Amino acid sequence: MKKTTWMAAIAAAVLPTLAAAESVDLNVIGTIIPTSCIPAFAGGGTVDLRKISAATLNKTTQTLLSTHDISLHINCDAPAPVEVSVRDNRAATKLPGINDGAGNSDPALFYGLGEIGGIRIGGFALRHGRPEADGIQQTLMTRTLAAPAWQLPSSPLVSNAPALYSWGTVAAGPVAARHHGFPMSLLPIIGPSNALPIASEIPLDGSVTFDMYYL
């Protein structure tokens, strides 16, 4: 048998096995849109709680500090619907068991405020207000990618991702606008002072990222 004929016979014996292998497709989809939207916080992206006297903190229970109003503004060069989510960059420092003083204690509703010497300091919540689009008040809605139908939020607090938020009407969905405004109140919470090394200054270090997505 010639060498080429022998190789062809070997290939014929192997190929049927290879052809029986399973396969799966990967599709890449998306849309390039002409609109550009820029998110920013009114007054800047830093909330300074200033100096907090340790004497004003509860020793054995949490302390709710004064709220600070913040507002996320999204400006687009053409009307567009958007949605946002919030990622906690200090999630590992969130003090377990904190609540907003109004019965809301789900850990997903709170964000870390830093730690010192491995001791978690507390956390904060974001209480949402009523959003607006091009100056017209809208209804706040929420969803997740796993449950994509828009619905009304079950809590007055903004939840961590994977929760997504937008505004418009539940029936019609998010509204397109050139300007979107999402007002919130930041509620800082400090844990029991007896657990903190208050003999020296304790820096607070909270950080979240608001991700904006086009719809």
pLDDT (tens digit per residue) in 41-74: 999 999 999 999 999 999 999 999 999 999 999 9
Average pLDDT on 12-27 reads 64
The boundaries of the domain holding residue 127 are 36-214
d(C-alpha 144, C-alpha 54), whole Å: 40
pLDDT digits (tens, 9 = 90+) for 71-105: 999 999 999 999 999 999 999 999 999 999 999 99
Is position 26 within any domain? no
On the question of pLDDT at 27 being above 90, the answer is no
pLDDT at 2 (0 to 100): 44
Question: Which tokens is 129 given?
Answer: 């207000």
The CATH number assigned to the domain holding 136 equals 2.60.40.1090
pTM (predicted TM-score): 0.86
**Is 111 among the domain residues?**
yes
Residue 19 lies inside a defined structural domain of this protein:
no
When divided into structural domains, the chain yields a total of 1
Domain annotation covers residue 23: no
**Where does residue 110 rank: exposed (0-12), middle (13-18), buried (19+ CB within 10 A)?**
buried
